[in-house]
Amino acid sequence: MGEEPETKPDIEDEAVVHSQLLAGIPGGPSLISQLGYVPEFHDAMVREMHLSIRGPSSIQLWLGVGNLSQDGLLVTFDIEAVLDMNLDYFRDNIMFEMLLRRPTVRLERTNYLDGDVAPCA
């Protein structure tokens, strides 16, 4: 019997979900309109980051964009609750990218079960 290949997230699907979520949050459509594309915040500078496990959080980013009059945009995300965050490739306050994702439900660890469950779209 052959082993099933390991499934990896489809990058195109992640980009589509990110686009949909960004377009659905306050200020998202305006940001997309100003830039002319859906940003993935590649090389954005983190100006300020406030993370809380018990309350609201926020991330303020500077997007260097040459076609705007001030050569960039200041973008602030006000976050009701941080469910999951991965800060790989984050150096000198510059992020590689930031993609918005739908939340997953984290199962409590038991002797029998551990993992993530993604909601059906």
Domain residue ranges of the chain, discontinuous segments joined by +: 12-117
Which pLDDT band holds residue 88 (cuts at 50, 70, 90)? confident
Question: So what's the pLDDT on residue 7?
Answer: 54
> Contact at 8 Å (CB) between 99 and 89?
no
Tell me which DSSP letter residue 61 carries: E
Q: What is the pLDDT of residues 38-57, one digit of tens each?
A: 999 988 999 999 988 888 99
> Contact at 8 Å (CB) between 103 and 118?
no
Question: So what's the pLDDT on residue 66?
Answer: 61
Q: What is the pLDDT of residues 98-117, one digit of tens each?
A: 888 887 765 555 555 445 55
> Contact at 8 Å (CB) between 84 and 104?
yes
